[in-house]
Structure 1
Amino acid sequence: MPGETGGTRGGAGPGGVREGRRRTAGPWLSRLALLIAAAAVVVLLLAAGIHSIGLLAVGLAGLAVSAAALWWTLAHRGLTRVLAATLGVLVPLAVLLFYAAVGLLWAALLVVVLWALASLTGRAALAADSRAEGRPERRVAPAKAPYFIMNPRSGGGKVGRFDLVERARALGAEVAVLDPAHPQDVAELARRAVAAGADLLGVAGGDGTQALVAQVAAEHDLPFVVVSAGTRNHLARDLGLDRDDPSRCLDALTDGVELRMDLGLIADRVFVNNASFGVYAEVVQSDDYRDDGLRTVLQALPELLTHRTGSRLSVHAGGVGVDAPQAVLISNNPYQLEGAVGVPGRPRLDTGALGVLVVSVDNAAQAAGMLRGRRGRGLAALTATEVVVDADAPEVPVGVDGEALVFPTPVTCRIHPAALRVRVPRHRPGGPRVKPRLDWRALLRLAFGRDGGARRWSAAGGPPCV
């Protein structure tokens, strides 16, 4: 990786006075979180007394039944789906009506609000005390012959709306604008540009296009620039780039810093974000998905979730094997997982590890168990440098950075550490905020000054959790 001599720390990294202030705020925030949590318990006890345990049991049972109803809704069709969806709506209402009937609706709502506030404050305390380091960066001289590939249809026409072609050319870049009516091999365009003397490659387009050009840049050890002109811009988000104004990404040409990031490999193809197997990958293969995605998903899910159609997968990662999961997500560096669902982003892109999320839900009980997050039986979150996905078929559909592809089985995914030189603007919004999972024991240690409050953690190992 590039050294830090003469370089700067990115927005995600701590430094100087700012780091000291964050460490000072941690104990106070942790005490506030504990105080708010205690207030929630006091409110519950004062309002319900000995019946508070029963009230909690009713609420938790309602959540479990709602999760089971969601499973039945997705895994069935016809009358069963309608009844399950109805149950999923009526159960939370019934719980609220029960609380209202016993005169404790106000207390239940207040406890929920206080507990949510305590959780947010606790996470803020752990984040303030964490010592997660930013990505090493170094200042670099402007490229002499930058070359950009731009897709005018990406992101609903962001290339045109933000005058990206003209702006890039004004900065001295050569720009190839893709013709939507005549598909082109973007990797071949990039290779021709390198042969003609390009010393930097950039892409204004979707993550799939970026991956193809990033592979060429890595092969020739050239810097790579991401312009957030796609629809979701997952890579741009995790690099801390401005997704609201993609033209600001071009500042990397005149006032840029360089960092190293890993690349994922599936067979011999690069992916910058993730490769998805199972339900999602099967659904996006359908021609109807682009026209009516929700209807296509609802039609396909019952057979896919119950293994009546689709490939039966097996996964082997880091010495762990999982048989017959419904979904597998292999990411270029681990995603930060919040609770049972949600993938807000990757705090680091240079950990040298793949993230592996495996979902195995075969019945309503396991669906209810997903409420426990990583501790639930239906969800496994792993890290590994190599993952092998096999299936009971000679080929398996895979969604690679949003592209629907098919690979011969078994499929091997690997990590190529520090493979890509990425050039980003020196001034940029910053990467995704890393929110440690709530750990009440760590909060207690932090609040009362005991050693090892919010433990130092990395994106690969994940934040502290119970």
Structure 2
Amino acid sequence: MTPNWLARLAIVLALAAAVFPLAAAGLRGSLLLILVGFAGVAVALAAAWWFLARRGLVRWLAAVVLVAAPVAVAVMYLRAHLLWVVVVTVVLWSAALAAGRAALVAPIKPHEYETPPPRHPFLIMNPRSGGGKVERFHLADRARALGADVALLNGPTDVVALARRALDSGADLLGVAGGDGTQALVAGVAAERGVPFMVISAGTRNHFALDLGLDRQDPATCLDALTDGVEVRVDLGRIGDRTFVNNASFGAYAAVVKSPAYRDDKAGTTLDLLPDLLAEEGGAHLRVRVGDIELAGPQAVLVSNNPYDADDIAGLGRRPRLDRGVLGVLAVKVRGAMDATRLVRGLRSKVLTITTVDRVVVEADTPLVPVGIDGEAVSLPTPVSCTIQRAALRVRVPRHRPGVPPPRPSVDWARLGRLALPAGR
């Protein structure tokens, strides 16, 4: 189906979702739906805030309320014989949003450059990354069979010095099978010396590999780039004298990353630290300069190498492009339950600031500020400057790869209306 017809379908389904409750339940029934629904949402959002911002018994009581609120609403709808109306309305709205997003998605394919295969590739592999993917997929043996020189990390290693020594010895490509933090350090060396860089998706989450369109399920397919590959040019973020391929985070997220327990239990560590972070107990008071904008006191700041999807406020999803030449900036300032409610509902206002720039300066009222750089916790002297290096990195990727997933855009109904008109063709 063409984008024009998808836009028309989205509008028709949205109208049906708006009209159906009135037609099926009548005015009185519709008012009941609205009132009970709003009450359930308000209680659930309040419970979510208490769950995140408190510990102990209060947290678990809030968890019970968070689960019970929607169940209670469903029971009330059922007793009023209106549950089927809600189900049908939700299905119509979901279908309308799906059709609208499909109509607005534009295919993304970075420009590819034909270059000869490397003669002396040098690959750095961390056997501990991703739960032992290097050994599980026999990556070192496969790479050596393709003519690569492989260095296995068996303990704390200066990967920057290792990469530079390899280039001095004649390597003409650098690659990493490991976490994004190691990828970023070696990518900085490759960009500095102008040689191609290769990503092998052997980390835990492989965010950079995802945004390059690589296969994250089978990291061995990334080795195809050695024999049948092409090059793409992507941007690099820089923070102080370091590079980052994904993001640099300050405030709440950086404090979570800094915790010694974070690597073993990310979710549990985050829940344990959130109450103090949301209450602004301890930690640095941040000031952020983004172009002509100055933000005072945000609790969390995420600076990314190109922006994430608009609905991804945690920087844990994907970036549709890595070659726009801009930093994505996301800052969160929550001052209480009302602000938390706005954040959960996706209302920007003063709670959430999202923009793109080419330079960000983060200041603090402490001489050092914790920063999470591609998931690695460090402390940097303030002020901290973040910049973007356009098309700084040559990345060699397999010619045949899954590709970058299409973005999940927010639904712009005005744009859909223009697309649905005959002139939209």
Q: TM-score, normalised by structure 2?
A: 0.95
Structure 2 counterpart of 1:137: 112
Q: Secondary structure at the match of 1:30?
A: helix
Q: Deviations over 1:283-320 (max 9, x none)?
A: 22222334444443333222211112221112111222
The change in CA–CA distance for 1:318 and 1:64 in structure 2 (over 3 A counts) is farther
Q: Deviations over 1:105-132 (max 9, x none)?
A: 11011111111111001111122xx4x6
Please say which of residues 367-376 and 225-234 is displaced more in the overlay: 367-376
Structure 2 counterpart of 1:169: 144
Choose from 12, 19, 42 the match for 1:42: 19
The reply on whether 1:126 has 2:112 as its aligned counterpart is: no
User: What's the Cα RMSD here?
Assistant: 1.9
Please say which of residues 275-284 and 72-81 is displaced more in the overlay: 72-81
Query: What letter matches 1:42 in structure 2?
Result: V
Choose from 380, 386, 404 the match for 2:353: 380
Please say which of residues 402-411 and 336-345 is displaced more in the overlay: 336-345
Gaps of at least 5 residues in structure 2 are none
Query: What letter matches 1:422 in structure 2?
Result: V
The change in CA–CA distance for 1:374 and 1:416 in structure 2 (over 3 A counts) is farther
Q: Distance in 2 between matches of 1:154 and 1:414?
A: 28
Structure 2 counterpart of 1:28: 5
Gaps of at least 5 residues in structure 1 are 1-23, 454-466
Q: Distance in 2 between matches of 1:230 and 1:294?
A: 18
Please say which of residues 280-289 and 362-371 is displaced more in the overlay: 280-289
1:340 Cα deviation after fit: 6.5
Contact 1:318/1:383, CA 8 A, preserved across alignment? no
Contact 1:224/1:423, CA 8 A, preserved across alignment? yes
Q: Distance in 2 between matches of 1:361 and 1:212?
A: 33
Q: Distance in 2 between matches of 1:416 and 1:57?
A: 51
Structure 1 counterpart of 2:134: 159
Query: What letter matches 2:145 in structure 1?
Result: A
Q: Deviations over 1:181-201 (max 9, x none)?
A: x31111111000000011111
Choose from 391, 394, 399 the match for 2:367: 394
Q: Secondary structure at the match of 1:289?
A: coil
Choose from 31, 45, 49 the match for 1:67: 45
Q: Deviations over 1:271-292 (max 9, x none)?
A: 0001111112112222233444
Q: Distance in 1 between matches of 2:153 and 2:240?
A: 27
Q: Deviations over 1:157-178 (max 9, x none)?
A: 1111111111111111111111
1:29 Cα deviation after fit: 1.3
Query: What letter matches 1:59 in structure 2?
Result: G
The reply on whether 1:146 has 2:121 as its aligned counterpart is: yes
The change in CA–CA distance for 1:212 and 1:343 in structure 2 (over 3 A counts) is closer
Structure 1 counterpart of 2:233: 260
The reply on whether 1:236 has 2:217 as its aligned counterpart is: no
The reply on whether 1:97 has 2:75 as its aligned counterpart is: yes
Q: Distance in 1 between matches of 2:194 and 2:164?
A: 12
Query: What letter matches 2:21 in structure 1?
Result: L
Q: Deviations over 1:3-44 (max 9, x none)?
A: xxxxxxxxxxxxxxxxxxxxx611111222222222222321
Query: What letter matches 1:423 in structure 2?
Result: R
Contact 2:177/2:203, CA 8 A, preserved across alignment? yes
Q: Secondary structure at the match of 2:214?
A: coil
Q: Distance in 1 between matches of 2:66 and 2:202?
A: 38
1:439 Cα deviation after fit: 1.3
Q: Distance in 2 between matches of 1:366 and 1:63?
A: 15
Contact 1:340/1:373, CA 8 A, preserved across alignment? no
The reply on whether 1:117 has 2:117 as its aligned counterpart is: no
